[in-house]
Amino acid sequence: MKRLLLVAALLGLAACHFGEPLLPEPNADRDPRLLGVWHNPDSPDDVLTITADGAKRYRFAYDSGNKDPAAEYGQGKVNLAAYHADLPSGVRLLCVELKDAKAKALGLPPWLILGYAFDAEGGLTLRMLDEAALPEPHAESGYTKIPRKTVWEQLLKQTATPEGRARLFDPSSDLGPLTRKAARPAP
């Protein structure tokens, strides 16, 4: 499995960005297993810290450890906010908002929809939606102009069968597995 730098994957895959979240508010509680400090063993300086933000939301703070202000994504710190937009089929999705000024400066739409999974050893893999599971993007604006209702309905259809659920995420875009770097912070 190809391992990617988290910030490059989250910010660079503009085709999977949306103009609005799937749901305007969370529809499920936080998953306490997500909370903690994570890193990619292949990039030990990369650190993703996931903390609780209120009753149902998360704060993601990514730091690549890069101190060079001339780097493509700045000095390597990116802030994101997230909450659950879980599908009735049991598929857990995260609506992730790019809160950082760097994302806005790059002209990226503000929302990503991610899935996640834990392996037997407790490693975390974040997953991008497969474009084949989504409605046809608009040629000029990608997914940014597709109404959330249209995307939600397409995801409901896609996840109605086990085969559809298996095709929901693009395995070539997996971000991870990330391993826990430190003990979980208190919720």
Domain that holds residue 81: 6-181
Look at residue 167 and give its three-state secondary structure.
coil
Within a domain: 161: yes
Within a domain: 53: yes
Within a domain: 138: yes
Within a domain: 69: yes
Within a domain: 28: yes
Calculate the CA 156 to chain-centre distance.
Answer: 19
The secondary structure of residue 157, as a DSSP letter, is H
> How much of the chain, in percent, has pLDDT values that exceed 90?
33
Mean pLDDT, to the nearest integer, of 115-141? 85
**Domain tally for the chain?**
1
* CATH code, domain with 158: 2.40.128
Within a domain: 59: yes
Give 155-181 pLDDT, tens digit per residue. 999 999 999 999 998 887 777 788 887
Give 66-124 pLDDT, tens digit per residue. 666 555 545 567 788 999 999 999 999 999 988 776 666 666 778 888 899 999 998 99
Calculate the CA 62 to chain-centre distance.
Answer: 12
Within a domain: 1: no
- Across the chain, mean pLDDT equals 80
Within a domain: 186: no
In contact, 62 and 87? CB cutoff 8 Å? no
- Side-chain-side CA neighbours of 68 within 13 Å: the count stands at 5
Q: Is the bond preceding residue 69 a cis peptide, omega within 30 degrees?
A: no
